[in-house]
Amino acid sequence: MRFPDLMHFAAGGLKGHRLRTSLSLLGVGIGVASVILLTGLGEGARRYIAGEFASLGSNLLIIVPGKTETAGLAPLISTAPHDLTRQDAESLVLKVRAIRRVAPVVVGTASASSGERSREVTVVGSTRDLLHIRHLKMASGRFLPADQPDAAVCVLGARVQRELFPEQNPLGQLVRIGEWRFRVIGVMAPRGTSIGMNLDDVVEIPVETALRLFNRHSLFRILAEVDSHDQLDQARRAAIAVLTERHAGEEDVTVLTQDSVLGSFDMIFKALTAALAGIAAISLGVAGIGIMNVMLVSVSERTREIGLLKAVGVTQQQVIAVFLVEAAILSTAGGVVGLLTGIGAGRLLQGLYPEFPFHSPGWAIGAAIAVSCMVGLTFGLLPARKAARLDPVQALMMRKA
């Protein structure tokens, strides 16, 4: 039997029963669509997070005070016997060759007000280098001064500017933060949320000023930019050595790299995506069972036809092939329908909610087709074998059930 004939026979079996064919198709379609949608969402979320961290720059060391053997919480509870100081930060640039620049960071919350308007803001105390390290952009004015770490000046985030000085030029005006007054020297370009912190809701002030404002001695963290990605690990060890020496021989800091943070996020997201997609893929199995069932019915309905085929010399393998092709066409077509539906639904969601991360990876499309075809072949096997094993004489004699 030639291949085109085979396809024709298989397709004939499907065409004869439009409704049951489309229902089987629907089953596979739903399964594939949900897997595509979920992997798309998972992948989108992963890329979003990765992008957030990438905006930090991949050559970044984050130095946090405190070190414990119980992992995880050290960066949050940032208190250690030895303060992390601005001098610590400066010594890193001087003593570690690979570190290009550093930005000491102090973070806190305070209310900022101008005239009658007031707003709770996140206050970030840092130095001029923060601009380069975090790739920040100015909308107007200038960033923190390079040489006056204790000046009473501030740079407003886009949203703070909007709320405190609507329709006004804030440059040169005074803002009250806590109980102190600061002169506005710059406004940041809108930036949006980054790693859970809305950068537009931030006011930047010089680092020493921030320490005094919050009455603290220790930095919240130090951001250090390394020359190249290859030197990251070496710079990390050198930084720990320098700080240990400065802290009376005690290693009381934790140094995070973007890779280490990103690596664990990446793993969590991949595992989550795989788990959800796996759960959704159960429905593919159920759809496969549906196909098997329909194929079994189809075999018993076409018993006489099969008997005839065998009587004219068609081999067992060819009969198997016919039914396998039928099952595969059914499930692959369902897979294609599901693929289109899944991607369409994802796009639609994205159209409605632009911040919704959706990215269907290229391999998912190939995998969806391959898996749906496999589903057909796997679940078609039993009915196909049943058909192939029919005795031609008995099959021909059988009345239609």
Q: Give the footprint of other proteins on residues 229-288 (CB under 8 A).
A: 248, 250, 252, 276, 279-280, 282-283, 285-287
Conformation bin of residue 225: beta by default, left when phi > 0, alpha when psi is -120 to 50: beta
Q: What angle do CA 75, 80, 83 make, to 5 degrees?
A: 105
Read off φ and ψ for residue 157, nearest 5 degrees. Answer: -70, 160
- 84, 126, 142 from 211: Cα distances, Å: 12, 10, 22
Give the range of 130-138, 167-175, 292-300, 318-326 binding other proteins by CB under 8 A: 292-300
Closest distance to other proteins from the beta carbon of 108 (Å): 3
Closest distance to other proteins from the beta carbon of 44 (Å): 16
8 A C-beta contact, residue 106 and residue 89: no
296-335 footprint of other proteins as x/- string (CB under 8 A): xx--------------------------------------
Please state the separation of Cα 80 from the chain's center in Å.
33
Residue 70 or 362: the one with the smaller Cβ distance to other proteins is 70
One of 131, 133, 154, 213 touching other proteins (CB under 8 A): 213
State yes or no: residue 120 binds other proteins (CB under 8 A). Answer: yes
Give the range of 95-103, 231-239, 289-297, 362-370 binding other proteins by CB under 8 A: 289-297
DSSP state, residue 242:
H
Closest distance to other proteins from the beta carbon of 254 (Å): 9
Question: How many secondary structure helices (H) and strands (E) does the chain include?
Answer: 12, 12
State yes or no: residue 147 binds other proteins (CB under 8 A). Answer: no
One of 183, 216, 229, 385 touching other proteins (CB under 8 A): 216
Closest distance to other proteins from the beta carbon of 55 (Å): 18
Give the range of 130-138, 231-239, 294-302, 356-364 binding other proteins by CB under 8 A: 294-302
Please state whether beta strands 99-114 and 180-188 pair in parallel, antiparallel, or not at all (unpaired): unpaired
Residue 23 or 94: the one with the smaller Cβ distance to other proteins is 23
State yes or no: residue 108 binds other proteins (CB under 8 A). Answer: yes
Closest distance to other proteins from the beta carbon of 376 (Å): 15
Q: How many C-alpha atoms does 108 have within 13 Å on its Cβ side?
A: 20
Read off φ and ψ for residue 142, nearest 5 degrees. Answer: -130, 170
- 154, 279, 283, 313, 321 from 325: Cα distances, Å: 71, 28, 22, 19, 6
**Environment class of 125 (CB within 10 Å of its CB; exposed 0-12, middle 13-18, buried 19+):** buried
One of 19, 146, 312, 352 touching other proteins (CB under 8 A): 19
Query: 305: Cβ–Cβ under 8 A, 6 or more apart, which residues?
Result: none
Amino acid present at 217: H
Three-state SS for 78? coil
Please state the separation of Cα 329 from the chain's center in Å.
34
Q: How many residues bind other proteins (CB under 8 A)?
A: 69
One of 102, 110, 130, 131 touching other proteins (CB under 8 A): 110
State yes or no: residue 212 binds other proteins (CB under 8 A). Answer: no
State yes or no: residue 116 binds other proteins (CB under 8 A). Answer: no
Q: Give the footprint of other proteins on residues 178-207 (CB under 8 A).
A: 178-179, 196-197, 201
Residue 233 or 252: the one with the smaller Cβ distance to other proteins is 252
Token pair belonging to 18: 């439009």
Closest distance to other proteins from the beta carbon of 92 (Å): 20
8 A C-beta contact, residue 246 and residue 88: yes
8 A C-beta contact, residue 156 and residue 190: no
DSSP state, residue 160:
H
Closest distance to other proteins from the beta carbon of 227 (Å): 30
Amino acid present at 356: F
State yes or no: residue 385 binds other proteins (CB under 8 A). Answer: no
Q: Give the footprint of other proteins on residues 29-88 (CB under 8 A).
A: 30-31, 34, 38, 66-70, 72-74, 76-81, 83
One of 55, 91, 194, 218 touching other proteins (CB under 8 A): 218
8 A C-beta contact, residue 50 and residue 262: yes
Instruction: Write down the H helix ranges in 247-356.
Output: 258-301, 303-311, 316-352
Footprint on this chain of other proteins (rule: CB under 8 A):
19-20, 23-24, 26-27, 30-31, 34, 38, 66-70, 72-74, 76-81, 83, 106-111, 120-123, 177-179, 196-197, 201, 210, 213-218, 220, 248, 250, 252, 276, 279-280, 282-283, 285-287, 289-290, 292-294, 296-297, 400-401
